[in-house]
Each structure stands twice: as structure tokens, then as C-alpha cells.
Structure 1
Amino acid sequence: MTGIYVSALDLFSIGIGPSSSHTVGPMRAGRMFVDELAACGLSRSFDRLTCTLHGSLGATGIGHGTPDAVIAGLRGRVPETCDPAEVHGSWEELGQGETLSVAGVPLTRHDIVFEPFARGYGHPNALTLTAEHEGVTLLTRTYLSIGGGFVLTADAAPEASALPAHVPLSAYANADGLLREAQGRSIAAVALDDELQMFGRDAVDEGLDAIWAAMSACVRAGLSTRGGLPGGLGVTRRAADAHDQLSRRPLGSVSADEWVAVYAMAVNEENAAGGRVVTAPTNGAAGVVPAVLYHLVHEGASDADIRCFLLTASAIGSIVKANASISGAEAGCQGEVGTACAMAAGGLCAVWGGTPEQVENAAEIAMEHHLGLTCDPVGGLVQIPCIERNAVAASTALTAARIALLGDGHHVVSLDTVIETMRQTGNDMSSRYKETSTGGLAVNVPYC
């Protein structure tokens, strides 16, 4: 029996904003489609490409840059290495009546169709790509963007993904099993064993270092950039000015909660602008984990601490992904920001010397207090309430870790119970509150 651990190198994937499920996933799907066309010998056989965005991708795709992402993927680009500036803007060009050359064929605005109420594909985030020749279908595939940038074809097994298939060493399937695996050692050690089994020491060390380098670069970029965010809401970046204000205060007068809130805002402003960001575990929730870790490093955390933090967070995120969902379109924002907060709280507790039981408690506290959180982005943009929501969750992660460390790890409600509750709550939640922008703030805040 193998476990459910998702490598940190996959869970923390380097990509672009504003959304892992609506931008990164669709770009990967587009690239998968052209790769399959090539594998089938059809690269020069089609004269038309079409894309239909179903469900949440159809409902909020324009605000999330989904058409741009699909076009970039069809042009062979991948999120990890593409220039964000070359991705955004294609849909606007098509809207002005222009025709784009994509994979060697012309693409018009009419070739991308939105079906916001179509939900019969196995996941709320679905898209269908079709290649034709003189009106005859040569190849058609439906892809599911299941959150965090992970992509399945509609007929694939649930555990399959577009990312490389790696087999973890451990056998745990939930938090209780993880605690049994961690007897006499740390959760990070359990995760590291899986990483080494899948990739080897050099690749793991280089991968974790690259993830942290990208996270910290994103924080710094957000702290040094001012101006308005795209999309028409009139949202202005605040992180840089807020950081300057905190820096001018007397030494010792700024709390850790204030610092992490500003760092989280910096990341999510970069994400909202479509910049380079690390999925953690999604883009909409990308600010929480880097903000807490950035503060730890600022306070003197070592390279070993950074790796401990990321590995612990990956183990927690893997459990949530396997037993519930990290997709806002499937579970609401409790699945995105709630998971990110649990990951950050667990990682922080571990670095602060917590036992595995205290780490599990910290993650449980963090997620428990995000239960029922809806995903209702105004205008379909990852700005309101997403930017501030990450800031609040980063502060909550600190609180959760502190509370857990005040106890001995024994508590009434387990992390597994909270994850299952989150899954049930997501199932019960109206689709209006799951990244469709048809309920909540999305309909009560004017957007023109």
C-alpha cells in the first residue's frame, strides 16, 4: 500500500497569477492538448481549434484570465517558465476583432465559448478542446482543473494528474495515519522520506530551494510595487505603503501579525496582477504560506527550518487534497485559504519545536476556524476579498500555532474530523458561493 503524499515540488508549483485552477490548470490543459495532437501525428492536419469553458471556468474565466491561459498553453507555453507578460492580453486582442495565430491556425473570439451553467463533467472546473479539419472533429478532450494547478482528463482515474506520477514510500491515508508514521520522529522527516524515494537528495534540495526562492522573490516584488491592479475594480496595491509604514515605527512596536499580514498582501497583489507566484496550495491562497515563512526567515530561521516548514506543510496539504478538496470551485474558500492556513500553522508549529501531535493540533485549529468560508470573488477577480483574506489567514496561522504549543497535543476535535467536515460543508454549499461570482460579495458589491 502506498500513501497519499503529494510532493512539495508538485504541491508548491511555480506558475503565474491570478488563479491556479483558472489560469495555471487551463494553460497546462492547452499544452497537454497540443502535445497529444503531436503524438497522434495531427499537428499539421487541423484548420480550427475551439475551446469551451464549462462551469466555474465559464462563470469567472474572464476575470481569472482563463482564455489567455488556454491560448498560451495551445502555443506551447508552460506556467513554470512562461513570461507572464506574454500570456495576458490575448483575449482583449480577440475582443477587438483581431485574429490570433494559435498552433498554426487562426483563432477568433467565437472559437472560445463560455458555458457557466454546465456542470456535468465531474468537476466544476472543466474545459473542452477540439481540433477540426473542414468541420470534421479530429481530436476532442475534456480536462478538469481540480485545484492547485492539477489537471485530469475527464475520463482519467481520480488519482491521476497531469503532473508526473510519483509513488510515495509512506502508507498513511489521513492525519491519524501520519501521526503513527511520525512516532519517534517529525512529520517533516516522514515527508522527506517520501521526497527522497521519489526524487533523490539533490533534486529535493534543489527543488525546495527553488520554491523558497520564488516565494521570497514574490514577497519582495509585492513590497516594492505600487499602482492599480487590472480588471476594472479600481483596487490599488497597498502592501508597499503598509510595509513602509511598519518600517518607520519604533523598534519592537510592530507585531508579528502585522508583518505577516503585509507579506501576504504583497504576494496576493502580485498574484492579482498576473505575476510570478507559487501555488500554495492554490493561487487564490498563495499568500499565507510564504508570508509566515518569510517572517520566520526574517526572524532568523535557517535553511533547515525552511525545509522543515515546507515539508510539514506539504504533508498537511496532501491529506486535505486526498480527503476533501483544495479547489474553491468545489469546496469554497475553506478549501483554499483554510487549507493554506492549516499548512502554514503546522509548518510554523514544527519549526517552533512542536511535537507531531502539536503540529496536527495547530493545523486542526487553523482549518476549523475557516469552515464554511465561501468563495465569492467580486467581478471574478482574485482581489476582493481574496487579498485581505490571505492577510487575515496568515495572522490566524500564527495564532493557531501559538495555541497548539500551549497544550500537549491532546485535543477533542481531530484534524481528520475537521477535514471531513470541510468536505461535507463544501458538498452542502450552494454553487453560488463556490467561485461562480453569483452570490455573496460578488453580487452585493457593484462592478461595472
Structure 2
Amino acid sequence: MINVERFNSDKIRELREINHITQKQLGDMLGISDRAVSKWESGLSKPSGENLISLAKIFNVHVEEFFESISCAKNKKEEISSGMESLTELYKTGRGPSSSHTIGPERACMIFKDRNKDADNFKAILYGSLAKTGKGHCTDEVIRKTFLPYKCDVEFNHILEDIPHPNTMELIAYKDNTEQDRARVLSIGGGSIAFENDVVRKPERIYKLDKFSAISDYCEKKNIRLWQYALENENDDFISYMYNIWDAMKTSIRNGLTDTGELPGGLGVKKKAKSLFNSQHVDETPVTRENRMVCSYAFAVGEQNASGERIVTAPTCGAAGIVPAVLYYQQQKNGYSDESIVRALMTAGIIGNLIKTNASISGAECGCQAEVGSACAMAAGALGELFELSFDKIEYAAEIAIEHHLGLTCDPICGLVQIPCIERNAVAAMRAINAVNLASFLWDTRKISLDTVIRTMKETGIDMHRSYKETSEAGLAKINIDIDEK
């Protein structure tokens, strides 16, 4: 009987790529789905002993090739459990409409351009979701602008599907029409990027812990809050960085509340934040007013993002309106200081970082549950910190927020971050408030932990059909709306 506990998930991908076999082709050979192969390679599940024997035959290797020695497995486990990156890698300011389609590619091109100072011409090849929705997100425009004054040809490759991440791009540098350098870059969500084969050093993982259960236990033993845990791990400039993040959030709301006209892209979507903010009814109740205010703030940021203006990834551009809407309303209504809001943002950041580390914040990877669902959880955690709730209540509020976004698809019409994205930000902001209220009463009855629901989000995202993960191929994206090309 084969013991699969020491199964090395990287080995299947390595052998598959060496033999130029796609996940779908391998699945067909084994009589299973390509999603099952994907789960093996991501470590979410392990093949049966029978499947391992079949794999060994397909790749013409011994079954033992798929296993690690005990020492290697231990070292790998220690390496994987290396914690989380800085919150400055989560919260970033940049121009919309998409963190993975504009901010990420812009960062990648800047790095690649900087390391090829002698080049006189560039080329970018977009794959996966970048190819399918790049036009709607203006990815090609951002890339060309970043490489100025040099020329950059942008190719949309809709054929290659065997890629390491749905948002994959290839950058090529030329000198006198001769290739000088080539790099494959993954835009992994929230404006973060990863160069394949570690061409550029990955951000340091400064947090040792990467599970909410471990972090909350640590904080309770030391009698500190989540924001204080963040301060223990970040550098001396972190506090001023977070104040700048909050200032940028407030600016995006204020600018959005005064803006009018139509959003770019040709859908004819009117900007609604200003009218929503000013549309007070005679018989408006306090609850109705709260909903209207929160929604107007979320619309303001969403419309700024869709217009290509500067916003904060929280954790992404497409979900940027949720966290600031909830916190700005509390500051306006209850007079919370900027210091209190910044502490709440740190708490939200810990939750967002947990999701980014253990699941995904990329719509192209796990659907909109990874963007709006994550932002809703962050907003719930932030509000819980403002209200000085216990760790149990904060955890439950964040868990509720994610749980009721599980399976949410990323299918914006025409690939534009407008319908349903902007309205969805407003709905999620209200849901975050509801999650905190519910958690305040029922916190001691919960059955599911935050860590569990984050893991479930990842599994759901992997199982979700690719057509519903930022490809403009299914769902709302199939609705035929005439686009004004003028």
C-alpha cells in the first residue's frame, strides 16, 4: 500500500511541463478532470495510490519520484510556513480600474524597463485573463505608457492556456532588433507581482504567523490588539504609510462625491455617487440614511476607480470602495479620530493578508469572492476594531463576510470594472456592517473558524469554472449591451 503523506505536489507540475503536457491532457489520460490535477499541483489534495502508479507510467519514472525524504519534507514545511508579507504589499495607491490588470502590469514593466536600460524596443505578450479582459481594463495602454519613450508592441494571446497563473504576461527587451532579455511575470492580485523563476526577489515575509488562530492566541497571551501585532512586525515608517493610505482613501471618496458625467468605456454608465449622497427623502429613517451614506461613499470610490483615478487597493481596485466606505461613514457619524481609523485599517490588513496568503485576492484566480468577499471581511474586521470587539467577535464578523460571498463570480460586462462591480461594492459595505452586528450577538454560537472559511474560499475558487473568473465569457458578461465607440 502506497503512503501518500510525503507526496510532493511540485513534482507533477515539473514532470508535466518537461513533457509538454497540459493539465487537461493529463486529466484525460487519467480519466479525471483538469481541476483534480490542479488541486494536486496546488497541494489541496493528494492523488490515490492507483493514480500515482498511473502517473509513474505516464512519465516513465519510479513512483518514489513523487515523494520527498522526511528531511526535505520538513524543510519544505518550514519554508512554506514562513508567514506573511508586509501590509504595505496589500495596501497600495495607484490608478484604476484594476489592480491586477493595470497596477500590477505597470509595476512589472517599470522593473523590467529599469533592468534593461540599453534596450531600444520592447514587447509584451498577455495571456489568460490579461488577454481576455485587458482591452476593457486598458492594460495595453498602461503598458505602452510605462515603456515610453520606447516603443512597445502588445500582443493578446488567447490560445495558450497552460500558464502558471490566470494573469500571466511575458516581457521581451530588444536592442537593434536582437532579443536581450525575456521574463514571465504573474500579476497575482492587489497590484502584487511575481517574476517566474525568482528573477526579482520576492517581498520578505515579515510576519511569522499566517493563521488567525495562531495570531489571536499570540495577541491574547500578550494582551495586545491586532493592530499592535502589526506594529510589532512592520518597520518604523509603517504608521506614516498607513496615515497616507487613509488620506488617499478619503480623497477618493471626496473626489467621487463631486464628480458627474459618464464613466469611460462606452457602456453609458452614469456616475451616481453625488446624486445618491444628496438624495435625501422627507420620510428617510436613520437606517435608510446610513445605508444611503455608506453606499454613496462606496460608489464614489468605485467610480473614481472606473475612471482611472487614484485609489487604494483594499485589497484590490475592483473592491476598493468597501473598506473606506464603512470607515469614512463611522468617522463622519461618530467622530472617530484618524488614529482610530488607522488602527482599524491595520486590523483589516491582517485579515486581508491572511486571505492573500492562504487563498487569493485575485478575481482571475478565485472569482469575485476573492475580491469583494475579502474586502467585506476586511471592512467587518476594521469595524469590529473600531467598536473594540473581542477577537472572537472580530473573527466571526470576518467569517460571516466571507461565507456569504463564497462562489461569487467575476463576470463584469464587457470586461469593464463597472457593472456589477461598483454596485457590488456598496452592497458588500452594508453587508460588512450587518456581519458585525450579527457577530456581536451570536459570536458564541459559531461553528466555522475564519481559517476554515478562507481555506474553503480557495477550494471554491479552484473548482469554479474559468469562464466565471474574469474572462468575460459567461454570466453577466454575456449580456449584450451596445457599446458607444465614440
TM-score category, normalised to shorter length: 0.7 to 0.9
Q: State whether residues 126 and 169 of structure 2, in contact with CA within 8 Å, keep that contact through their aligned partners in structure 1.
A: yes
Distance 1:194 1:139, change over 3 A: same
1:181 to 214, 218, 231: 218
Distance 1:248 1:12, change over 3 A: farther
Amino acid at match of 1:53: L
Amino acid at match of 1:175: F
Return 66-75 or 257-266, whichever deviates more: 66-75
Return 148-157 or 424-433, whichever deviates more: 148-157
Q: State whether residues 11 and 279 of structure 1, in contact with CA within 8 Å, keep that contact through their aligned partners in structure 2.
A: yes
1:146 to 161, 180, 188: 188
Could you tell me which residue of structure 2 aligns to residue 205 of structure 1? 239
Could you tell me which residue of structure 1 aligns to residue 93 of structure 2? 14
2:289 to 244, 249, 255: 255
Residues 151-181 of structure 1, C-alpha deviation per residue, up to 9 Å, x if partnerless?
1112239x964xxx3442x532211112212
Could you tell me which residue of structure 2 aligns to residue 51 of structure 1? 124
Residues 364-407 of structure 1, C-alpha deviation per residue, up to 9 Å, x if partnerless?
00000000000001111000110000000000000001111113
Cα distance in 2, alignment partners of residues 175 and 156 from structure 1: 28
Cα distance in 2, alignment partners of residues 208 and 220 from structure 1: 19
Amino acid at match of 1:129: L
Cα distance in 1, alignment partners of residues 281 and 208 from structure 2: 47
Amino acid at match of 2:380: A
Could you tell me which residue of structure 1 aligns to residue 198 of structure 2? 156
Amino acid at match of 2:408: L
> Does residue 375 of structure 2 align to residue 340 of structure 1?
yes
Q: State whether residues 124 and 329 of structure 1, in contact with CA within 8 Å, keep that contact through their aligned partners in structure 2.
A: yes
TM-score (norm 2): 0.79
Q: State whether residues 57 and 116 of structure 1, in contact with CA within 8 Å, keep that contact through their aligned partners in structure 2.
A: no
Equivalences for 1:224-373 in 2 at 5 Å?
224-246=258-280, 252=286, 254-299=288-333, 300-373=335-408
Distance 1:175 1:437, change over 3 A: same
Distance 1:409 1:344, change over 3 A: farther
Q: State whether residues 141 and 153 of structure 1, in contact with CA within 8 Å, keep that contact through their aligned partners in structure 2.
A: yes
Larger radius of gyration: 2
Q: How many angstroms does 1:271 deviate by?
A: 0.2
Q: State whether residues 129 and 140 of structure 1, in contact with CA within 8 Å, keep that contact through their aligned partners in structure 2.
A: yes
Residues 53-102 of structure 1, C-alpha deviation per residue, up to 9 Å, x if partnerless?
11100000011010121123323xxxxxxxxxxxxxxxxxxxxxxxxx42
Q: Secondary structure at the match of 1:334?
A: helix
Cα distance in 1, alignment partners of residues 305 and 161 from structure 2: 27
Distance 1:180 1:117, change over 3 A: farther
Q: How many angstroms does 1:118 deviate by?
A: 2.5
Could you tell me which residue of structure 2 aligns to residue 90 of structure 1? none
Q: Secondary structure at the match of 2:370?
A: coil
Could you tell me which residue of structure 1 aligns to residue 112 of structure 2? 33
Cα distance in 2, alignment partners of residues 430 and 153 from structure 1: 26
1:126 to 164, 168, 171: 168
Distance 1:344 1:47, change over 3 A: same
Could you tell me which residue of structure 1 aligns to residue 474 of structure 2? 439
Cα distance in 2, alignment partners of residues 409 and 335 from structure 1: 27
TM-score (norm 1): 0.85
Could you tell me which residue of structure 2 aligns to residue 82 of structure 1? none
CA RMSD after TM alignment: 2.0
Q: State whether residues 361 and 409 of structure 1, in contact with CA within 8 Å, keep that contact through their aligned partners in structure 2.
A: no
Could you tell me which residue of structure 1 aligns to residue 230 of structure 2? 191
Q: Secondary structure at the match of 2:180?
A: strand
Amino acid at match of 1:26: P
Distance 1:228 1:189, change over 3 A: same
Distance 1:133 1:72, change over 3 A: same
Cα distance in 1, alignment partners of residues 444 and 374 from structure 2: 20
Amino acid at match of 1:130: I
Q: How many angstroms does 1:417 deviate by?
A: 1.2
Q: State whether residues 127 and 168 of structure 2, in contact with CA within 8 Å, keep that contact through their aligned partners in structure 1.
A: yes
Unaligned stretches of 5+ residues in structure 1: 76-100
Q: How many angstroms does 1:291 deviate by?
A: 0.4
Q: Secondary structure at the match of 1:151?
A: strand
Q: How many angstroms does 1:255 deviate by?
A: 3.4
Amino acid at match of 2:142: A
Q: Secondary structure at the match of 1:22?
A: helix
Q: State whether residues 51 and 129 of structure 1, in contact with CA within 8 Å, keep that contact through their aligned partners in structure 2.
A: yes
Cα distance in 2, alignment partners of residues 5 and 305 from structure 1: 24
Distance 1:401 1:155, change over 3 A: same
Return 184-193 or 397-406, whichever deviates more: 184-193
Q: Secondary structure at the match of 2:311?
A: strand
Amino acid at match of 2:240: E
Amino acid at match of 1:438: E
Q: Secondary structure at the match of 1:144?
A: strand
Cα distance in 2, alignment partners of residues 315 and 242 from structure 1: 32
Q: Identity over aligned residues, as a percent?
A: 42
Cα distance in 2, alignment partners of residues 153 and 296 from structure 1: 40
Amino acid at match of 2:382: G
Equivalences for 1:216-227 in 2 at 5 Å?
216-227=250-261
Q: State whether residues 357 and 410 of structure 1, in contact with CA within 8 Å, keep that contact through their aligned partners in structure 2.
A: no
Amino acid at match of 1:60: T
1:385 to 420, 426, 431: 420
Amino acid at match of 2:212: A
Q: Secondary structure at the match of 2:265?
A: coil
Q: Secondary structure at the match of 2:184?
A: strand
Equivalences for 1:98-117 in 2 at 5 Å?
101-102=149-150, 106-107=151-152, 111-117=153-159
Q: State whether residues 29 and 70 of structure 1, in contact with CA within 8 Å, keep that contact through their aligned partners in structure 2.
A: no
Amino acid at match of 1:335: A
Structure number with greater CO (CA < 8 Å, separation at least 6) is: 1
Q: State whether residues 30 and 71 of structure 1, in contact with CA within 8 Å, keep that contact through their aligned partners in structure 2.
A: no
Cα distance in 2, alignment partners of residues 173 and 212 from structure 1: 25
Q: Secondary structure at the match of 1:405?
A: helix
Q: How many angstroms does 1:272 deviate by?
A: 0.3
Moved over 6 A (4+): 247-251
Amino acid at match of 2:301: V
